[in-house]
Amino acid sequence: MLFRSGSERRVDGVFVVDLRGDHPRLDELVRLGLPAIVLAGSRGQHALPTVWQNEAVAVIGAVRYLAALGHRRIARVAGAEGFVQTENRTQAFLQTVGELGLTARVVTTDFMAETGAHVTRQLLSEPEPPTAFLYESDILAVAGLGVAHEMGLHVPGDLSIIACDDSPFCQVVHPPLSAITRDIPGLGAEACRRLLELIEHGQCDDLELPYGHLTPRGSTGRAFSQQASQKAATQSRERAVGRRLKRSEGLGPNRSSRSPHSGPDKPRRPDR
């Protein structure tokens, strides 16, 4: 539908977002000669002008921040495979944890909160769970925080969380989530200026914008030692299981309410 509108000049220009590794849309836009601006996390190898931010810089900074807090096992809950943004962030994450000698886990999701909660639950149930998580989006991070509460873990005492995308969601939960903050309105304004220039003059230059900065909030803190964090995680899981058992084994109408530690019933004294 878009390409039909472009070929018939129903639109003057377009923005291209959510770029994938293969770029059939970009080739078609070049063929049509339709003015287009790509918004991406890297410059990319294509002919269209790009407004981009170096996403690797912020991811590297977030990993180094967690390492400085003493975290040695860090998990990245990424978005969907195939997206340029996801691949750029994952590459920067793996490169940095490798340089620092950390243990890394990367799992992909479909960006849905349910999936984020599921993979977080799996990772936290491992014998040596991560002590810090770096989530692809605000929604995934909020879902992960919910799982931590569900499993009886204290954030940030037992687990640290950072969201790669900041939003009001990150600020209204408890504790508020540390996140990578970007100037989204500024990005949109610069992209609009570039597109208007392209429509009017037929050409414009690429533009690199500052990616953003880490905003520490209440979800990041110093890591326990490995032994202490394992013990705390085990105890938290045991407490969560105990609470679930108590809820499921509530006293029925025909069950005795006598404490199991109160000893055997005293024999009744025979009537005289």
Q: What is the pLDDT of residues 142-172, one digit of tens each?
A: 999 999 999 999 999 999 999 999 999 999 9
- The domain locations on the chain are 2-54+184-211, 55-181+214-232
| pTM of the model as a whole | 0.78
**What superfamily in CATH does domain 55-181+214-232 come from?**
Response regulator (3.40.50.2300)
pLDDT of 181 over the 90 cut: yes
- Of 24-28, 137-141, 159-163, 216-220, minimum mean pLDDT range: 24-28
Nearest to 7 by CA among 31, 38, 23, 36: 31
How many whole angstroms separate alpha carbon 178 and alpha carbon 155?
Answer: 11
Burial 190-225 (b: 16+ CB within 10 A, else e): bbeebbebbeeeeebeebebebbbbbbbebbbebbe
CB 100 within 8 A of CB 70: no
Q: Do 2-54+184-211 and 55-181+214-232 show the same overall fold?
A: yes
Q: What is the pLDDT of residue 21?
A: 72
Using DSSP bridges, classify how beta strands 50-53 and 73-78 pair: parallel, antiparallel or unpaired. unpaired
3-state helix, strand, coil in the chain (%, to 5): 45, 15, 40
How many whole angstroms separate alpha carbon 90 and alpha carbon 159?
Answer: 21
CB 12 within 8 A of CB 196: no
pLDDT of 50 over the 60 cut: yes
Query: Does domain 2-54+184-211 bear CATH number 3.40.50.2300?
Result: yes
How many whole angstroms separate alpha carbon 127 and alpha carbon 124?
Answer: 8
pLDDT of 233 over the 90 cut: no
How many whole angstroms separate alpha carbon 262 and alpha carbon 188?
Answer: 70
Q: What is the pLDDT of residue 232?
A: 60
Q: How confident is the model at residue 58 (pLDDT cuts 50, 70, 90)?
A: very high
Percent of the chain topping pLDDT 90: 58
Q: What is the pLDDT of residue 236?
A: 67
Q: What is the pLDDT of residue 3?
A: 47
